[in-house]
Structure formats: C-alpha cells, structure tokens
Amino acid sequence: MELKGIYPIVPTPFLENGEIDYPSIERLVPFMVRKRVNGLAIMGALGEGHKLIDRERTEVIAAYRRLLPDEMALIVGVRAPATHPATVMATRAQELGADAILLGPPNVQKDAALLEYYRQVSDAARIPCIIHDYPAMTGITLSVELIGRIFEISENIGHIKLEDPPTGMKMQALAPGLKVFGALGGMYALEELELGAVGVMTGFVYAELLVRLFELTQNQQWKAAADLFFDFLPLNRWEFQPGIGASLRKQVLKKLGVFSTATVRHPGQDADARTVAQLFRIVEHLRQKGYALAV
Amino acid sequence: MELKGIYPIVPTPFLENGEIDYPSIERLVPFMVRKRVNGLAIMGALGEGHKLIDRERTEVIAAYRRLLPDEMALIVGVRAPATHPATVMATRAQELGADAILLGPPNVQKDAALLEYYRQVSDAARIPCIIHDYPAMTGITLSVELIGRIFEISENIGHIKLEDPPTGMKMQALAPGLKVFGALGGMYALEELELGAVGVMTGFVYAELLVRLFELTQNQQWKAAADLFFDFLPLNRWEFQPGIGASLRKQVLKKLGVFSTATVRHPGQDADARTVAQLFRIVEHLRQKGYALAV
Amino acid sequence: MELKGIYPIVPTPFLENGEIDYPSIERLVPFMVRKRVNGLAIMGALGEGHKLIDRERTEVIAAYRRLLPDEMALIVGVRAPATHPATVMATRAQELGADAILLGPPNVQKDAALLEYYRQVSDAARIPCIIHDYPAMTGITLSVELIGRIFEISENIGHIKLEDPPTGMKMQALAPGLKVFGALGGMYALEELELGAVGVMTGFVYAELLVRLFELTQNQQWKAAADLFFDFLPLNRWEFQPGIGASLRKQVLKKLGVFSTATVRHPGQDADARTVAQLFRIVEHLRQKGYALAV
Amino acid sequence: MELKGIYPIVPTPFLENGEIDYPSIERLVPFMVRKRVNGLAIMGALGEGHKLIDRERTEVIAAYRRLLPDEMALIVGVRAPATHPATVMATRAQELGADAILLGPPNVQKDAALLEYYRQVSDAARIPCIIHDYPAMTGITLSVELIGRIFEISENIGHIKLEDPPTGMKMQALAPGLKVFGALGGMYALEELELGAVGVMTGFVYAELLVRLFELTQNQQWKAAADLFFDFLPLNRWEFQPGIGASLRKQVLKKLGVFSTATVRHPGQDADARTVAQLFRIVEHLRQKGYALAV
C-alpha cells in the first residue's frame, strides 16, 4: 500500500472515568472516512499513546483495524524508552493489521544507539516504519546525516514525518528518495507540498481542508492551493496550540457529536471554554467565506 | 513612559566580516519609526544579543538611543547565566537611556534562584523590567505561581512578554495587574489582545500590520481586526520559523534596502533563497488583497 | 512492615537472546538474602524497568515475591510518562505482593502535575510509595517545597530515595518526618546515615559492606563506620559509573556465578573487560585489607 | 610548553560585596605553586567564569599571569553561547599571556555547528585549545566521532578534558594522538592515568595528593599509586559534590587562610557549616593515616 496523501493523527477517546471509549471510536472512523482521507494515524503524541498500557494499545489498534476499510492505511504510533518494548509494540501492531508504524526515537542522544533502535524495530515490524522527527516533543535531535544512515540501513524505512522546523530547508537537505510527510499541525503544509512532500500527517480535525489542499497541489493548481491554505491557516494554527492540542481536538469532536467526552488522561491539560469558543469563531469566519465546515 | 502598543524586536545588523553594521541601524530606526510603532526592543533572542561582547552591547544601545526619538521606548534585552553580569548589563542599559529591560531568566530551574535573580536585577536597573517567559528558547519554565511572586517582590516588574503557549490560558491565570505583551511572532496576537494584552513585542518586520491590528482592537473594531489578522497570519507565520528567524528577517530588510547584508553570526542558520522567495510570494498575495506592503 | 536498612537495587537478568532469565533470579535472591539485606528493590533504573513490557513486569515481580522471604520487603520501581500507566503498574505490583513502590516522576516539569501524579498513584497503590528524586536520570527537578506538598497530600508517602546532590543539605531542608534513603551508589552513605537516613537503597553488589556500615551506624560506632566506608568507597564508586552501571553489576554477578549472562537490553551500554578487571582489582585490594569479599 | 601533569581548576575569590578579591588571588597562586602543580586553570565552571563580565575577565587573567611563574601554564576557560564572543575571549586570553584555552561548547546540539565553533575559536586563539567535554554541566553531548573531527580540523586542538563518564571507555575509543586530561574531581584519576591520561585538571584543593599520584604513575609505581588514590578518594569525592563545589572549595581556602571570604556569586549555592566540617573530618582521617595535609 502506497503511503500518500492525508493521514489525520486522531485523539484516543476516553470516558469520564478515564477508560477507553470505544463507541466514540466507532463514530470517529466513519467521520474521518467521509472526509476522504487516505488513512488514520493512531497513538501518536496527540493520541496519548504514552498514556495507555499494553493491553489497551492492543484493543485500540484492533478496534480501529476492524472499523477502518481495508484499503485505508492504519498507521500506529510506537515510541518507547528502549528497543525491546518498541519492538514488541511494533510487532504487535503489524499482527493486528497496521499498515505502517510511526516510529519515534528513544530518549538517548547518541547516533549509534538511535541507528540501532531504528534498525531493530523496523526489521521486527516487517511493515513500513516512518521516522518521527519531532525534537520539540521528544527532546531528541535527528541530524540529516543520521536520518540518511537510518534510511540506508533499514529496508522498511522510506518515510519521515518531519517536524523539525524550518521543515523546508531540512527537506531539501535529506537524502533523495526519502519520502516526507508534513506535520506540525499543517502550519507549513503548502510549502512542504511544493517541495515534494508526499502528504500531510497531522491532527487537524477539519481534515477535509487538507484533503482539498492535497488534491489541488496534485493537480498543480498552486494558486488555488495557496488561496485555500492561507484561508484556513488561522484555524489549524489555533488547533495546534502546544499543551492543549489533544484536549482542543477532543472538544471539537465532542461538539460535532463524534466523541462523547473531551476527557484527557492526566497529566494532559484541558482547553478552557473560551479557547474552544475562539476556535468555532474561526470556523464561522471560514463558513462566511463559503467553506462548508461542520460546527 | 507607559509601555503599550507595538514594539518590534529588531535584528542586529552585521557587516560581511561580522562586525556591527551601524549604517544599517541608522536606516532601520527611521524605517520602523515610519510604521508608527511605539518603540523598539533590541538584543532579544532575535537580536542575537548573546552573540555580542560587552563593548558591542554598549555601542549598539547607544546608537539606538541616539537614533530613536525620545518619546519612543527603547527596550533592551538582558539575559545572562548569572545575576552579576545581568545586573551590570541592565544597569548599563539604563545609563545609556533604555526605557525598559526585557529580562530573561538564567539557566537554573529553581524558583528561589529565579526569584532572587529577578529581584536583584530589576532593583539595580531602576527602570521597568519585563519578564521574558519563553521556555522553548531558554529551557526554563516559569510557573504562574513563580511569576506572581516575582511580580510582587519587584517594584520594577509589572510586565511580562508571554511566549509559553497556550498563551491565552496562561494569561488568564496570571495575577491581575501584571501587564502582558504578546509575542511568538504574533501567532496569537488577535486572541491575546482580546484577552487584554497591552501590546505585542515580536520580530515581525511588517510591523505596520500589527500597528493597524492594535489600533482596531483599541477601537473595539473586532470584526475588522479579525479580518486583518487572519489575512496577514500566513506572513508572520513564515517569518517566525524556528532557527532561521533572524536570517529571514535580515534577508527581508536587505531586500527592502534597510540592511546592507543578511549576515548572522555563527552558529546562526542562514535562510536559503527559496525560503526568502516564498516569503515575498506571501507578501505579493497580500498586496493583491490590497495591502500596501513594501517588497 | 517498617522500611529501614539496606535494600539493594538489583539488575534484571536476561538470557543472551534478550529474554528474562528466571534461573538467574532464583540464584540472585538467596545470594542477596545471605548478605542480610532488608529487602530488594527491583525494576529501578538499574533494573532496566523501562525496557520491559507489561507482561514481563508482572512475571518478574511474581518471581521475586515467590523467592523472597515474606519478612523481607519487595520494593518495585514504577515510573511512567503518564499517571494512568503508573497507577496500573503500582496497583499490579501491590496485588502481586510488593511491600512498597519506588515511584519516579513523569517527564513534566510542573509542580501541580507532579503533585497530582504522586497523589493518584500512591492512593491507588495502597502501599508505601517512596518518592524517587533523581534529576540526573529523570530530568525532573523536585523542589524541597514540592516534596513537602507531596508528603502532606499523600497518605502512602513517607519516604524519599534522595539522589539530588548535595544530598546532605537537601536532607536537612526536607520536612521533618519524611524518611530518607541514601542512594547514588552509596557515594555519600556515611554522611547520609549520620544525618538520620533510615537506610540505603542502591545498586552496590557488595551489599554486605552497606549492611555492616548500617549496623555500625545504628550502634553509634561512628569511627568504625567511617573506617569501613572510606575503605570500600573506591569499590562502590567504580560500580556506580554512569552509563555502564547495569552492565558492570551484571558482569560482577556473572563472575560470581549468580547470573548466567551479563546481557543488557539495547540501548544499554556494555562495560568492557578492562573495566570489569579494574573492579576486581579493587576487590582484591580490599581483600588484602582483610575484607572477605567474593571474587 | 608541553601540557602534562596536574593543573588545578581554581575558584575565583570575591569580596563580601561580590567584587573580585585580588589579594586572595595573590595568596592563592603561591599556595598552589608550593604544591608543585604544573599550572593553573582559571575561569572554568568552578571558577565561576560565566558570572564575570568581560572587563573582570581581562583583569583576572592579567592578575594570574603576573603572579604565576612563566614556566607554569596558565589555562583559561572559555565558553560562550556563540562563536564570536568565544573567539574574542580566547584571543584576549592569548594576548594576556594564557598558555592554553579550556574551550567549552556553545549550547547547540548540532555537530556541524560545534565543529565550526571549535575550528574558528581555536584558529583565532593561536594557542592550544583543550576540548571541554562535560555534558552534565553543558548539556551538550560530544560524540567520539565529532571529537575526532574537531581534532583533525583544528591545528591548535590536541587535548581534551574528559568528563563524560565512563571516562575509561570513552578514552579508549578516542582517536590516538588526542591527549586526555582526567577531571570529574579526580574520581577516576588512577584509572585514567593507567590508560594513558597526560594529567588531571580538576578542582581538588589538596592538589599535592594529585601531584604525588601523578609522580607515582609516571614512575610506574602502580601499587603505591593505588594505595594513595584509594586513601584520598573520600576527600576528593566530598569536595566534588554537585552544586556546592565552588562554595566548598572556597570554604576550605578560607579556613586555610588563602581566601578572605567564601563568597560565591548568585545563583551559586553555599555549602553549609556541617558540610565543611565533614570535609575537615576526612582531612583529619587522612592526617591520622600519616598524610601531612593542612587544616
């Protein structure tokens, strides 16, 4: 399955008591499918993957796989403080039907250790593993040189989710052949697609806007793409606020009737009502410009 | 002098050999004055203050003070790894005519040490000291509680430059009476002004857009303010890219005939030609919408 | 069960293929019991707890509980990036017969979040939870004030494993009533016991030396205690080398016939043969001084 | 001048009002010369170099150079957040008669930037520049590969002060030809000298013990060297406590009549009286063993 296009990073819904909320997952999947995305990425940072225990991970992956059409890619976030648990997590995800792994680094700032981690985990996974390069979240810097070595050593590694800004300049420095997904909330999606990004993998709930952007860029309609992108930038910017990204997206999904609660697990921070209201005001601004967005 | 309104953080110009480029400063000041900003903030992070030696700091402050009209505030960035050099830097700035200090924390994650640093430096400065709260740059987290204690203990501290997102929620948690400047490239300027920010202090070169935004919000023209802000957001977003912010602003200023070079001191990263071209494409997009921006 | 005395932090043995090596655990427990320690602490940082998956954790805890005499405390290390998995881990440990939890902080430098994490996890655990204060390993600073608040809020928290040097000065600043275990390889054990530490909880394999030290200090034989401590300091210093602590202890245990391999899980670093030989040279030095240490 | 042997890192004395205390420097130099050290290293981390302004640096360097016999090396610590100020500091030190620079990295975890910083500063310095590899203090990791590239690219770089434990294993991995100074308070001095370290450069006040150790190892008297080292290890361990290293050494020097105060500049932490008393108790322990140490 070719990885290309728009893959929303989705939040994991919880009940008010903190347990996984499977009925909300059952609503979320068709909600996203209708936006004509190319697949879903679960248990990334936004998916609070680091707040689940192993058994929950297994059940959540299975639920998504059961609900998501076979032709749509299921991408599973894996990140662990050591190679063994990451290997088990990746292998388990593959067995449960994941199409790809979004593979974050362990907390070790040593090139040799990082290279070996990526080699071992991707070998065990036997499915594509996307390098997750997000130093602001992980604290780990992946140099262009190291990324090139990981790309060479690992048969299953051919993609990177690039969140180390300035992304445009890093993209141009990367080894040719390595396929790039834009992210960072879509803050630089237009420019990344111009530079050849194969898609965008980020948590923007109004993913239909990214889908439309991607179509326009694929058809070389750059002027229309820019007009669209500059129009919706106030919105994805607001969703992408550090610290409350998960809560805010959950609030939106709750308002839209998709999630039953906006609960985040501790120590997640809750977005307040005002921040949520400001988001819908921006949606309203876009609706007045003619965008048919749900509120 | 009341601190209120728009204060651009300006880059420090260098000649190709790395020396301070005073003629460019002589062009920069009137260039900014014409935009009707309320003052200038020099030697913040964007101003590469940490790349100057003491003698250069003194000469640069003196040059700006000489060039800047008396009624416009000169704000000088001070940050040092210890209290003594910060105290000397702040005192020196005051003697040279600075109206306020933008005071960043030392690299010590201990509340008692941070409180004492702010107390000593602001006492010595004898002019307003603005707390610089920018954890992504400094690595230091200032809690709402600590900020409240600094505000109480220091007679000269009544302002904060808030760059710890989500800024809206942190603003609302801060002690009443503490005046907030928005920053972060102006990414959340509209919402911060709505919540009562007294101004914006950031590196956006097209500061006339922030000046206009501020006027609209002061006149309670919120709809027009939002329209304006959402229009120019693609531009300030692009300028604000991490790692190349100083280089990119210098490239713009060079293109506009203000700076003679776009040199940054090592280890600053240069923005490439493509990134600069993309910036001017966004400016062009705004010009087509009717904004009279220089190119 | 009163927590008092010497609790070795023990490494988790692996087979050469990386699987848990249960026969080595079966040898390790009586090996340590013979040294007359007061209990064992498993799956601390030295125990490579962060390299195990949930199922392995359960099986390892059960194995130790089965092997360890009931009157000896089993302390289980718990640390997770979020409160829910830590709560599950702590509860599971309690159900499996753990007597106490060694509870490390999540990777969030915010007092309110840390306080709530300690409150929730210790409430759920229903057994004593020892605060693990080790900033060099966790990256998280726990201030004296925060520790005091955790101590007050949590019924199950009455102990701290203090590894934030200078430990003597921090000990004296802590709330009276909070019981302190020394650690850091035993580097300051004598001075910590003088200041009232209730014991030492560290990875020193030659734990009989700490047992003897503790007995002497309990009997107020301070001169003999100092003579002993200064004699063995070269040895525990060598074991405590950062980065190779687990490997080095495993090499010693292998040499002594306790572990079948010295395998560490990736990205653990292996101690080289020379470093191991240097360790046994120091043991030899102590034997010549009359200490009956195994080689 | 060949750099070889024992170079104490000395604290910078301050008066009670925080000003530089030159009379204490005048006592410190002969005090150290009498110990037969090979030179002095000033304004390292222990020397609170980061707490001085440029003018003070100049005056302190000049004072040491004037007081120190010509045939003894004066090594000056240089570390700055950017290349330009480091270059100026290094050049200034050379002009004032420094024999070598102890050169710490800027706060940038990028190999290319670090390489260029070391190249530029060492070229400008025109005297030997010793790489300061101390990640626990600087937060910057220097890989063996990067150190090899710095060694190759910079004519003036042939030494490293290695404080990235385990030091023995890193030493053996470094490029042949790069000369190593042990440090870390002398915690591994014996083993480092065995592996070929050319000396020790650390803050241990009782430097005569390191001088004696170095002589014994130069004469291949390994047994006597080990006996000596294991004897004094309790003492240098105590001096080397993180956070209070500078204060504690100053207290010792004050007690010995060398410094007039033990003042550290904020935010330095003061060692308490008990910690100082414990130090002299260890000295007493050594005196009873026959060591003629000053108290």
DSSP line for C57-125 = HHHHHHHHHHHS-TTSEEEEEE--SSHHHHHHHHHHHHHTT-SEEEEPPPS---HHHHHHHHHHHHHHH
Q: Does D172 touch chain C (CB under 8 A)?
A: yes
Q: Per the CB < 8 Å rule, is D237 touching C237? A: yes
Q: Per the CB < 8 Å rule, is A241 touching B165? A: yes
Q: Per the CB < 8 Å rule, is A109 touching D141? A: yes
Q: What is the mean pLDDT of residues A126-137?
A: 97
Could you tell me the two tokens for B265?
Answer: 């001191």
Query: In this model, does residue A73 exceed pLDDT 90?
Result: yes
Task: Write the secondary structure of chain B as one string of H (helix), E (strand) and C (coil).
Answer: CCCCEECCEECCCECCCCCECHHHHHHHHHHHHCCCCCEEEECCCCCCHHHCCHHHHHHHHHHHHHHCCCCCEEEEEECCCCHHHHHHHHHHHHHCCCCEEEECCCCCCCHHHHHHHHHHHHHHHCCCEEEEECHHHHCCCCCHHHHHHHHHHCCCCCEEEECCCCHHHHHHHCCCCCEEEECHHHCCHHHHHHCCCCEECCCCCCHHHHHHHHHHHHCCCHHHHHHHHHHHHHHHHHHCCCCCHHHHHHHHHHHCCCCCCCCCCCCCCCCCHHHHHHHHHHHHHHHHCCCCCCC
Q: How far is C162 from chain D (nearest CA, A)?
A: 14
Give the pLDDT band of residue C45 (cuts 50, 70, 90).
confident
Task: Measure the CA–CA gap between C258 and C28, rounded to whole angstroms.
Answer: 6
Of A226, A233, A272, the CB nearest to B233: A233
Cβ–Cβ under 8 Å, residues C60 and C48: no
Q: Does C147 touch chain D (CB under 8 A)?
A: no
For residue B138, list chain C residues with Cβ-Cβ distance below 8 A: none
For residue A234, list chain B residues with Cβ-Cβ distance below 8 A: 229-230, 233
Task: Measure the CA–CA gap between A104 and A79, rounded to whole angstroms.
Answer: 5
User: What is the per-residue pLDDT across B265-289, written as a single tens digit (0 to 9) for each?
Assistant: 999 999 999 999 999 999 999 999 9
Q: Per the CB < 8 Å rule, is D272 touching C230? A: no
Residues in A 25-84 with any Cβ partner in B closer than 8 A: none
Task: Measure the CA–CA gap between B16 and B35, rounded to whole angstroms.
Answer: 28
Query: In this model, does residue B45 exceed pLDDT 90?
Result: no
Q: Does C265 touch chain A (CB under 8 A)?
A: yes
Q: What is the mean pLDDT of residues A75-99?
A: 98
Taking CA–CA distances from C111, the nearest residue in chain B reads B143
ipTM of this predicted complex? 0.97
Q: Per the CB < 8 Å rule, is A110 touching D141? A: yes
Q: Per the CB < 8 Å rule, is B267 touching D55? A: no
For residue D111, list chain A residues with Cβ-Cβ distance below 8 A: 143, 145
Amino acid at D243: G
Give the pLDDT band of residue C1 (cuts 50, 70, 90).
confident
Q: Does D283 touch chain C (CB under 8 A)?
A: no
pLDDT at B100: 98
User: What is the per-residue pLDDT across D218-241, written as a single tens digit (0 to 9) for each?
Assistant: 999 999 999 999 999 999 999 999
For residue A85, list chain C residues with Cβ-Cβ distance below 8 A: 50-53
Q: At what angle do helices B273-288 and B245-255 cross, to 10 degrees?
A: 60
Give the residue from B107, B108, B109, B140 with the most C CB atoms within 10 Å of its CB, the best one to mutate: B109
Give the residue from C51, C119, C244 with the most A CB atoms within 10 Å of its CB, the best one to mutate: C51
pLDDT at D44: 87
Task: Measure the CA–CA gap between B292 and B281, rounded to whole angstroms.
Answer: 14
Q: Per the CB < 8 Å rule, is D111 touching A141? A: no
SS3 C19: coil
Query: Which chains would you list as touching C if contact means 3+ CB atom pairs under 8 Å?
Result: A, B, D
pLDDT over 70, % of chain A: 100
pLDDT at B1: 85
Neighbours of C237 (CB within 10 A): 20
User: What is the per-residue pLDDT across D88-147, written as a single tens digit (0 to 9) for each?
Assistant: 999 999 999 999 999 999 999 999 999 999 999 999 999 999 999 999 999 999 999 999
For residue B269, list chain A residues with Cβ-Cβ distance below 8 A: 166, 169
For residue A110, list chain D residues with Cβ-Cβ distance below 8 A: 141, 143
pLDDT at D293: 97
Give the pLDDT band of residue B63 (cuts 50, 70, 90).
very high
Give the residues of chain D that fall short of pLDDT 70.
none
Taking CA–CA distances from D142, the nearest residue in chain A reads A110
Of A52, A88, A117, the CB nearest to C267: A117
pLDDT at A1: 85
Q: Per the CB < 8 Å rule, is C82 touching A48? A: yes
Query: In this model, does residue B235 exceed pLDDT 90?
Result: yes
For residue C266, list chain A residues with Cβ-Cβ distance below 8 A: 82-84, 113, 116-117, 120
pLDDT over 90, % of chain C: 99
pLDDT at C129: 98
For residue B143, list chain C residues with Cβ-Cβ distance below 8 A: 110-111
Give the pLDDT band of residue C123 (cuts 50, 70, 90).
very high
